Amino acid sequence: MTKQISKRRQSEKPKAHTGEPTNGPITAEELQLAVRNHSLPLEALRDDITPAGLHYLLTHFDIPHIEADTWHLRIGGAVQRAVEISLRALRRDPAISIPVTLECAGNGRSLLRPRPLSQPWRLEGVGTAVWTGVPLAYLLAQAGVDEDAVEVVFTGADAGIQGGVRQQYGRSLPIKEAMRPDVVLAYEMNGRELPPQHGYPLRLVVPGWYGMASVKWLESIQVVTHPFDGFQQSVAYRYQKNADDDGTPVTRIKVRSLMIPPGIPDFFTRSRVLSPGPVMLKGRAWSGEGAVVRVEVGIDGKWVPAHLGHPAGPFAWCEWTLPWVADRGEHELACRATDATGSVQPLEQVWNYQGLGNNVVQRVKVNVE
């Protein structure tokens, strides 16, 4: 399949999305995806570690059914010793547990104008879990990576069609990222066997990178000496200006913060009502590029620094809090994080063709009455 793509003429190059971005209404296909994939309800931002079933979930194709007893992970390609390893054997290897915030690269897409046609996330394509498993670097060291290796390709058991290309979901990592000590082949989530929807029996977790890198339902790991050009690498998950732009690859998670909407919701509009008086505003902030160093809360356009908690790990979100005394009337609340690289969330989103890497400031309207 990889070769199929590279042999095509540029004009025939498959597209990541079906149809051009639109200012029109939500389509039947987008609704279907919105219903099928799962968001984090914003009130679940109260938890350091997201309980099972509340973590965001994007399933590109179908959730495959895998029998762990007969399943093997194959490690091969540009290595000294190809390896085939069972889940039982993997569980005997040295294990690490690491809390990681994962966010979908398309989070926030439905708020863009025009709106790229794909999973129409609002702001809730995120979650934090503790992943337990074997460091990828440990297994790669056992296999012995060849000196001319440039990338490691991960292929999942999930199969389908995207952009007209029949494929199993596959992504690569540069060797340097693959050899990081915190990149893990996980068989547990939050201390329990991986749920089917999160990649049972084994998935990759790449802390700091958007979720597309953390390949689920792993079948094979291939070390390669040329950059991987599978669909999910060379077509999807690229920052493009338009359909003809080759673009640049999506990698690390941009700095973002979200707020638990205070008060109580209206069922249909989800608009918020709260009583006058003191209220503790709370939320989470994260970045894949460096620690979060500042969160400011906007109250009717005036920015106030929030108190920052300690994250459970270097790539896990941290809590922020700000006491507020709400007075009657309509108010607009917002939150804005800055990370150690100096990156700060934008007040207006810079648009890109696939709607990726959004991190615009969240705004929450509340009615105090």
By the criterion CB under 8 A, which residues form the site for a copy of itself? 17-18, 24-36, 38-39, 41, 43-44, 46, 51-55, 57, 59-63, 65, 110, 117-118, 120-122, 124, 159-162, 166, 195-198, 264-270, 273
CB 42 within 8 A of CB 268: no
CB 253 within 8 A of CB 209: yes
* CB nearer to a copy of itself: pick between 69 and 147: 69
In sequence order, what DSSP letters do the residues of 118-169 get, joined into one string? S----S--EEEEEEEEEEHHHHHHHH-B-TT--EEEEEEEEEEEETTEEEEE
Cβ 45 to a copy of itself shortest distance, Å: 11
8 A C-beta contact, residue 108 and residue 205: no
Nearer to a copy of itself, 63 or 291 (CB): 63
In the complex, least distance from residue 70 CB atom to a copy of itself, rounded to whole angstroms: 17
Distance CA 16, CA 245 (A): 12
Q: Are 245 and 235 in contact (CB under 8 A)?
A: no
- Distances in Å between the Cα of 294 and the Cα atoms of 140, 290, 345, 357 are 37, 12, 11, 20
Nearer to a copy of itself, 198 or 336 (CB): 198
Q: Between residues 92 and 270, which has the closer beta carbon with respect to a copy of itself?
A: 270
Comparing CB distances to a copy of itself, the nearer of 40 and 335 is: 40
- CA gap 98, 110 in Å, rounded: 31
Closest separation between CB of residue 238 and a copy of itself, Å?
16
CB of 217 to a copy of itself, least distance (A): 12
Residue recorded with tokens 């000496």 = 225
Of the candidates 38, 26, 34, the one whose C-alpha atom is nearest the C-alpha of residue 114 is 26
Of 74 and 122, nearer to a copy of itself (C-beta) is 122
Nearer to a copy of itself, 267 or 325 (CB): 267
Q: How far is CA 151 from the centre of its chain?
A: 21
Judged by CB, which is closer to a copy of itself: 175, or 274?
274
CB-CB contact of 308 with 292 (8 Å): yes
Cβ 324 to a copy of itself, closest distance in Å? 18
Q: Minimal distance in Å, beta carbon 311 to a copy of itself?
A: 20
Instruction: Closer to a copy of itself by CB, 79 or 129: give it.
Output: 129
Least distance CB 246 / a copy of itself (angstroms) = 21
Element (H, E) at 76: strand 72-77
Task: Find, among 220, 260, 216, 274, the residue nearest to 42 by Cα.
Answer: 260
Q: Which is nearer to a copy of itself, 15 or 254 (CB)?
A: 15
Handedness of CA 146, 150, 156, 161 (dihedral sign): negative
Strand order in the sheet with 329-339: 272-274, 362-368, 329-339, 292-299, 302-305
Question: C-beta of 9: minimal distance to a copy of itself in Å?
Answer: 23
Which pair of structure tokens corresponds to residue 54?
A: 């509340």
CA neighbor of 336 nearest in space, from 259, 238, 272, 273: 259
Minimum CB distance to a copy of itself, residue 180 (Å): 28
CB of 181 to a copy of itself, least distance (A): 29
